[in-house]
Amino acid sequence: MNIIISMFYEKQDTYKTIKDLTYFIGNSAVDLKDNKENREDIEIASFTYNDAKYIRKQMQIDNQELYFLSMYICVFASTEKELEFLLNKMEGILQSNGITTKRANFRQDDVFKACLPLKINSKNIKNASRRNVLTEGLISTYPFISNSIFDESGILFGINRFNNSMILIDRFDKEKYKNANMCILGTSGAGKSFFTKLMILRHRLCGMEQYVIDPEREYREICENLDGLLIKIGPQSNTYINILDIRKNGIEEDGHGYLQTKLAKLKGFFKLALGNINEEEWANFEEKLINTYNQKGINFNDESLFKDDGEKFVINKKFKSPEEMPILEDLYNNLIKDEKTKKLGIKLRPFVYGSLSYLNNHTNIILDNKLIVADIYELGEDNIQFGIFIFTEFFWDLIKKDRSKKKAIYMDEIWRLIGVTSNRDVASFIYKIFKTIRKYGGSGVAITQDISDLFSLDNGNFGKSILNNSSIKCFFALEEESIMTLSSFINISEKEKIEIKSLKRGENLIFVGDNHILTKVEASQNEKEIIERGDKNKEDNNSVRG
């Protein structure tokens, strides 16, 4: 349709407007009190009176300003019949959206001039077309700009379903958002995986460091398409991460206590590996764990983790290499020798000589890429939580390396670490990441489709904490049961519950601070090809898609 839309904004004098409104409100109040006209006239006067009070309140309390808005639409056609058809169509579209229209009969020339880039708004049409509008409403008339989310340095999250404006969010904007964390929740097939890959792709173009934990082998192809680094651990892999590694970035900046910090992290992992053990068993186990480090010359003195490279000054001391760290076999040998810990050693045997023996190796991974995807698919359903924990702890140390760089860690199937199949120590570690990652220039991204499992540990406190420590929450389509569970931990209106349930694939409800916006995920053809190329290959291989 050949159309031109022109809008004029005329700012009104605030002092004069408030003065006129006050005078009008006073007179209207008297008229309403003494009015003896029919009921219809009283209702009209009452509406006008309340509108005037509302405008004055917004101007005085919320510091909004009043504008006159004039909007003109020129429609072009090659024949009169076609023109009439297009006019009727345009009027129908506008009226169906609650917009009153009026044809510019005998004023077509004035409207045409108003639609030209000449800034001519003739009095002949202005007085008949102008409407009052406050600043809040005025902003929403700007095309392609959301009145609430349009960050100058942001990336495109999607299109506002109501006004088709672009939603651009820079979640690293410390002035606007309390942190850069995100939660992406949705049922299988709702589009959350596509959306996550789109975020990875766009942040990759911005040069941001990104670490992805991939339990379902969903991000392998996009990693290859973006020249990222793919790391696999499993029975057939030749890359290893030693859970007993103590890394130089393992403690807070200017902190101390490498071994104490590592022991706290390992408590969660070994409780996952060994099952429920009581405090006495853990005390005996920890004693053997400390002895294992002592055998490698590592103790509670941080200096024991540094070695002299032959130079005179302490500043030249180097941190011990991965080959100088103990491995699970060293711990197993200490456990099995003592009757008090022999039972725990037997439980650890699969990690040393059995199906999980690939975890019994020194770390041999070289990291030289800003996009790293951890493929833990081969671990299988029963052991996948070990891989998620190992890589989460590994990536967390990388995130703390340089505060000046933006980075993000994507944790898919996060419910495995903060749900009922996990334990409080592991869940506390994940919560700590979401709580403190901001000061390292980082962003934690939690992704899951299992809402009930997300809130299954400790009465849902850990799942709720993750949500509360995420400035951005993206809700894709969910089943009614999941929505009810979610609503007991986060404030969702009845209208929003219905919206989440009825969302189509690729649509989501984004919570960004006080803004709740229905959004449609949009991608360019090139972006779709990069992402869907991997999805097609996956379908061809008959793999499981999460």
State residue 1's pLDDT score: 55
Q: Residue 8: beta bridge partners?
A: 70
The answer to the question of residue 96 being in a domain is: yes
The answer to whether 229 touches 221, Cβ cutoff 8 Å, is: no
Which run of H or E residues covers position 387? Answer: helix 384-399
- In this structure, of 40-44, 91-95, 212-216, 482-486, the range with the lowest mean pLDDT score is 40-44
The set of residues, in sequence order, having a beta carbon less than 8 Å from that of 357 and lying 6+ positions away, is 350, 351
pLDDT of residue 227: 93
Span between the terminal Cα atoms of the chain, in Å: 42
Give the pLDDT score at 545: 35
Asked if the model's pLDDT at residue 537 lies above 80, the reply is: no
Mean pLDDT is highest, among 101-105, 469-473, 492-496, for: 469-473
Which pLDDT does position 532 carry in this prediction?
80
Domain contains 126:
yes
* Residue 308 and residue 321 in contact, taking contact as beta carbons nearer than 8 Å: no
Q: Report the pLDDT value the prediction gives residue 35, as an integer from 0 to 100.
A: 63
- Strand ranges for 103-257 from DSSP E: 131-134, 145-150, 155-160, 166-169, 182-185, 209-214, 229-232
CATH of the domain at 286: 1.10.8.730
Q: Is residue 477 part of a domain?
A: no
Query: Averaged over 190-214, what is the pLDDT?
Result: 95
**SS3 assignment, position 519:** strand
Q: How many CB atoms lie within 10 A of CB 62?
A: 10
For the chain, the average pLDDT equals 89
Q: How many CA atoms lie within 13 A of 413 on its CB side?
A: 21
- Residue 197 belongs to a domain: no
Residue where a domain terminates, one of 107, 139, 171? 139
Q: Choose one of 315, 349, 364: the last residue of a domain.
A: 364
C-alpha to C-alpha distance for 474 and 305, rounded to whole angstroms: 43
Report residue 146's pLDDT band, with 50, 70 and 90 as the boundaries. very low
- Same domain for 131 and 10, yes or no, is yes
List, for residues 366-386, the tens digit of each pLDDT value: 888 999 999 999 998 889 999
- For residue 371, being part of any structural domain is answered with no
Higher pLDDT, 284 or 37: 284
Mean pLDDT confidence for 515-527: 93
pLDDT at 536 over 60: no
Residue 148 lies in a domain: no
Q: Is residue 520 part of a domain?
A: no
Q: Is residue 276 very low, low, confident or very high in pLDDT (cuts 50, 70, 90)?
A: confident
Supply the pLDDT for residue 546. 36
Do 230 and 384 form a contact (C-beta atoms < 8 A)?
A: no
Q: What is the pLDDT of residue 471?
A: 95
Select from 113, 139, 165 the last residue of a domain: 139
Going by pLDDT thresholds of 50, 70 and 90, the confidence category of residue 542 is: very low
DSSP line for 457-513: SGGGHHHHHHHHT-SEEEE----HHHHHHHHTTS---HHHHHHHHTPPTTEEEEEET
Both 135 and 253 in one domain: the answer is no
* Containing structural domain, residue 51: 3-139
% of the chain beyond a pLDDT of 70? 92
Q: Yes or no: say if 454 and 414 are a contact pair by the CB < 8 Å rule.
A: yes
Give mean pLDDT, residues 452-470: 93
Domains in the chain, number: 2
pLDDT higher than 90, residue 98: no
Identify the top-confidence range among 41-45, 62-66, 342-346, 380-384: 342-346
Mean pLDDT of 520-544: 71
Pairing mode of beta strands 515-520, 3-11: unpaired
Average pLDDT over residues 477-488: 93
Dump pLDDT digits (tens) for 5-40.
999 999 999 999 999 999 988 888 877 776 655 566
Query: pLDDT higher for 45 or 438?
Result: 438
Residue 184 resides in a domain: no
Does the reported pTM lie above 0.85? no
pLDDT band at 543 (very low <50, low <70, confident <90, very high): very low
Are residues 125 and 245 both part of a single domain?
Answer: no
Structure tokens at 139: 């902003």
Q: Please state the φ and ψ torsions of residue 265, each to the nearest 5 degrees.
A: -70, -40
